[in-house]
Amino acid sequence: EIGIASVSAAAHLFPLKLKSSTIIQDQGMHLKLLLVESSKKASSSNEKKKGSEEEEFDPLAPETAEKTLIIRDSVFEEKYAILLNKFPVFAGHSLLVARGSSTQMPPQNAVLTRQDLDALHRCALAARAIAFYNSHPEAGSSQPHRHFQFVPMASIDTKHKPPIYSALDSLEPEIWRWSSKAPYVPIVRRLPAFNEIEHGIVKLPD
Protein backbone atom coordinates (compact mmCIF):
# COMPACT_ATOMS: atom_id res chain seq x y z
CA GLU A 1 0.00 0.00 0.00
CA ILE A 2 2.84 2.40 0.85
CA GLY A 3 4.66 1.43 -2.34
CA ILE A 4 1.59 2.04 -4.50
CA ALA A 5 0.99 5.40 -2.82
CA SER A 6 4.65 6.38 -3.31
CA VAL A 7 4.47 5.65 -7.03
CA SER A 8 1.23 7.61 -7.41
CA ALA A 9 2.65 10.59 -5.50
CA ALA A 10 6.14 10.51 -7.04
CA ALA A 11 5.79 13.91 -8.70
CA HIS A 12 4.87 15.46 -5.35
CA LEU A 13 7.74 13.98 -3.31
CA PHE A 14 11.11 15.66 -2.83
CA PRO A 15 13.59 13.04 -1.52
CA LEU A 16 16.49 14.49 0.44
CA LYS A 17 19.80 14.06 -1.36
CA LEU A 18 22.38 11.90 0.39
CA LYS A 19 25.74 13.66 0.73
CA SER A 20 27.74 11.00 2.55
CA SER A 21 27.47 7.68 4.38
CA THR A 22 29.84 6.66 7.18
CA ILE A 23 30.06 3.58 9.41
CA ILE A 24 31.28 4.12 12.98
CA GLN A 25 31.44 1.86 16.02
CA ASP A 26 30.25 3.02 19.43
CA GLN A 27 29.37 1.04 22.56
CA GLY A 28 29.72 -2.19 20.56
CA MET A 29 27.21 -1.03 17.96
CA HIS A 30 27.93 -0.38 14.30
CA LEU A 31 26.20 2.87 13.38
CA LYS A 32 25.55 4.12 9.87
CA LEU A 33 25.60 7.91 9.75
CA LEU A 34 23.90 9.50 6.76
CA LEU A 35 24.41 13.16 5.94
CA VAL A 36 21.72 14.64 3.73
CA GLU A 37 21.37 18.04 2.14
CA SER A 38 18.77 20.32 3.66
CA SER A 39 15.89 21.03 1.34
CA LYS A 40 14.88 24.60 0.58
CA LYS A 41 11.52 23.24 -0.46
CA ALA A 42 11.12 21.67 2.99
CA SER A 43 12.02 24.84 4.82
CA SER A 44 9.63 26.88 2.73
CA SER A 45 6.84 24.32 2.33
CA ASN A 46 4.48 26.39 4.45
CA GLU A 47 5.23 29.67 2.69
CA LYS A 48 2.77 29.36 -0.16
CA LYS A 49 0.90 32.45 0.98
CA LYS A 50 1.28 35.29 3.43
CA GLY A 51 -0.79 36.61 6.31
CA SER A 52 -2.77 35.17 9.22
CA GLU A 53 -4.40 32.54 7.00
CA GLU A 54 -0.96 31.01 6.36
CA GLU A 55 -0.16 30.93 10.09
CA GLU A 56 -3.08 28.53 10.59
CA PHE A 57 -2.07 26.21 7.77
CA ASP A 58 -1.20 22.74 9.03
CA PRO A 59 0.48 20.53 6.37
CA LEU A 60 0.09 17.38 8.49
CA ALA A 61 -3.59 17.65 9.35
CA PRO A 62 -5.50 15.17 7.14
CA GLU A 63 -8.03 17.89 6.38
CA THR A 64 -5.40 20.25 4.92
CA ALA A 65 -2.62 17.87 3.84
CA GLU A 66 -1.93 17.35 0.16
CA LYS A 67 -4.36 14.66 -0.96
CA THR A 68 -1.68 12.87 -2.96
CA LEU A 69 0.28 12.27 0.26
CA ILE A 70 -2.56 10.63 2.19
CA ILE A 71 -2.30 6.84 2.39
CA ARG A 72 -5.19 6.45 4.83
CA ASP A 73 -7.07 9.41 6.22
CA SER A 74 -8.40 7.54 9.25
CA VAL A 75 -6.99 4.56 11.16
CA PHE A 76 -7.02 3.12 14.67
CA GLU A 77 -10.46 4.25 15.81
CA GLU A 78 -10.21 7.40 13.68
CA LYS A 79 -7.55 8.85 15.98
CA TYR A 80 -4.71 8.80 13.43
CA ALA A 81 -3.98 9.09 9.73
CA ILE A 82 -1.09 7.74 7.62
CA LEU A 83 0.68 10.06 5.18
CA LEU A 84 3.72 9.87 2.96
CA ASN A 85 6.61 12.06 4.07
CA LYS A 86 6.83 14.80 1.44
CA PHE A 87 10.60 15.03 2.01
CA PRO A 88 11.61 11.37 2.48
CA VAL A 89 15.08 10.21 3.41
CA PHE A 90 14.26 6.64 2.32
CA ALA A 91 11.72 5.09 -0.03
CA GLY A 92 8.41 4.51 1.71
CA HIS A 93 9.22 7.01 4.47
CA SER A 94 5.80 7.56 6.05
CA LEU A 95 4.11 9.43 8.88
CA LEU A 96 1.60 8.35 11.48
CA VAL A 97 -0.26 11.57 12.22
CA ALA A 98 -2.65 12.37 15.06
CA ARG A 99 -5.99 13.53 13.67
CA GLY A 100 -7.34 16.92 14.60
CA SER A 101 -5.96 20.39 15.13
CA SER A 102 -2.42 20.73 16.47
CA THR A 103 -3.75 23.22 19.03
CA GLN A 104 -6.07 20.58 20.47
CA MET A 105 -3.57 17.77 20.97
CA PRO A 106 -0.42 17.22 23.05
CA PRO A 107 2.63 19.05 21.66
CA GLN A 108 5.21 17.20 19.59
CA ASN A 109 7.60 17.08 22.56
CA ALA A 110 5.07 15.42 24.89
CA VAL A 111 5.71 11.90 26.17
CA LEU A 112 4.24 9.15 24.01
CA THR A 113 1.01 7.68 25.33
CA ARG A 114 0.14 4.00 25.39
CA GLN A 115 -2.24 4.71 22.50
CA ASP A 116 0.58 6.31 20.49
CA LEU A 117 2.89 3.35 21.11
CA ASP A 118 0.20 0.85 20.16
CA ALA A 119 -0.60 2.65 16.90
CA LEU A 120 3.07 3.07 15.98
CA HIS A 121 3.80 -0.57 16.82
CA ARG A 122 0.97 -1.73 14.58
CA CYS A 123 2.28 0.42 11.71
CA ALA A 124 5.80 -0.94 12.16
CA LEU A 125 4.55 -4.54 12.13
CA ALA A 126 2.30 -4.08 9.10
CA ALA A 127 4.98 -2.30 7.05
CA ARG A 128 7.93 -4.33 8.42
CA ALA A 129 9.44 -1.01 9.34
CA ILE A 130 11.55 0.83 11.88
CA ALA A 131 9.43 3.39 13.73
CA PHE A 132 10.77 6.46 15.47
CA TYR A 133 9.69 9.71 17.06
CA ASN A 134 11.46 13.07 16.67
CA SER A 135 10.29 15.22 19.56
CA HIS A 136 12.69 18.17 19.30
CA PRO A 137 14.12 20.40 16.54
CA GLU A 138 17.60 19.07 17.36
CA ALA A 139 16.31 15.61 16.44
CA GLY A 140 14.86 16.87 13.18
CA SER A 141 11.37 17.83 14.29
CA SER A 142 10.05 20.76 12.24
CA GLN A 143 6.26 20.48 12.61
CA PRO A 144 4.25 21.13 15.80
CA HIS A 145 1.49 18.75 14.69
CA ARG A 146 1.91 15.50 16.64
CA HIS A 147 3.34 12.85 14.35
CA PHE A 148 5.57 9.79 14.27
CA GLN A 149 7.63 8.25 11.50
CA PHE A 150 8.32 4.82 10.11
CA VAL A 151 10.54 3.53 7.31
CA PRO A 152 10.31 0.05 5.75
CA MET A 153 13.37 -2.03 6.63
CA ALA A 154 13.82 -2.99 2.98
CA SER A 155 14.46 0.68 2.17
CA ILE A 156 17.23 1.03 4.75
CA ASP A 157 19.52 -1.99 4.69
CA THR A 158 18.64 -5.59 3.91
CA LYS A 159 22.04 -6.91 5.01
CA HIS A 160 22.21 -5.69 8.60
CA LYS A 161 19.91 -5.47 11.58
CA PRO A 162 19.35 -2.06 13.23
CA PRO A 163 22.38 -1.11 15.39
CA ILE A 164 20.45 -1.43 18.64
CA TYR A 165 20.04 -5.18 18.05
CA SER A 166 23.64 -5.83 19.10
CA ALA A 167 22.95 -4.15 22.44
CA LEU A 168 19.74 -6.14 22.85
CA ASP A 169 21.46 -9.42 21.98
CA SER A 170 23.95 -8.82 24.80
CA LEU A 171 21.17 -9.01 27.40
CA GLU A 172 20.09 -12.22 29.06
CA PRO A 173 17.05 -13.63 27.21
CA GLU A 174 15.09 -14.31 30.40
CA ILE A 175 14.72 -10.59 31.10
CA TRP A 176 12.14 -10.37 28.34
CA ARG A 177 9.18 -11.20 30.51
CA TRP A 178 5.86 -9.70 31.47
CA SER A 179 4.25 -9.32 34.87
CA SER A 180 2.67 -12.55 36.11
CA LYS A 181 -0.61 -10.99 37.19
CA ALA A 182 -3.27 -9.03 35.34
CA PRO A 183 -3.21 -6.43 34.00
CA TYR A 184 -0.28 -7.90 32.11
CA VAL A 185 2.36 -5.30 31.45
CA PRO A 186 5.93 -5.62 30.14
CA ILE A 187 8.75 -5.24 32.63
CA VAL A 188 10.90 -2.29 31.60
CA ARG A 189 14.65 -2.88 31.28
CA ARG A 190 17.64 -0.66 30.56
CA LEU A 191 20.62 -1.07 28.26
CA PRO A 192 24.10 -0.54 29.78
CA ALA A 193 25.22 1.10 26.53
CA PHE A 194 22.65 3.85 27.09
CA ASN A 195 23.28 4.56 30.77
CA GLU A 196 23.65 8.27 30.12
CA ILE A 197 20.33 8.46 28.29
CA GLU A 198 16.92 8.25 29.91
CA HIS A 199 15.29 5.21 28.32
CA GLY A 200 13.37 2.01 28.84
CA ILE A 201 13.28 -1.21 26.80
CA VAL A 202 10.35 -3.61 26.58
CA LYS A 203 9.56 -6.47 24.22
CA LEU A 204 6.27 -6.12 22.38
CA PRO A 205 4.40 -9.11 20.94
CA ASP A 206 5.18 -10.01 17.32
Catalytic annotation, pick one of 93, 136, 147, 199: 147
- Cα(177)–Cα(161) distance, rounded to whole angstroms? 22
Helix (H) or strand (E) holding 72, with range, is strand 70-75
R_g of the chain computed on alpha carbons: 18
Q: Look at phi and psi of residue 92 and say left if phi exceeds 0, alpha if psi is from -120 to 50, else beta.
A: left
Question: Is 136 a residue of the active site?
Answer: no
Identify which of 126, 65, 134 has the alpha carbon closest to the alpha carbon of residue 100. Answer: 65
Q: Which residues are catalytic?
A: 147
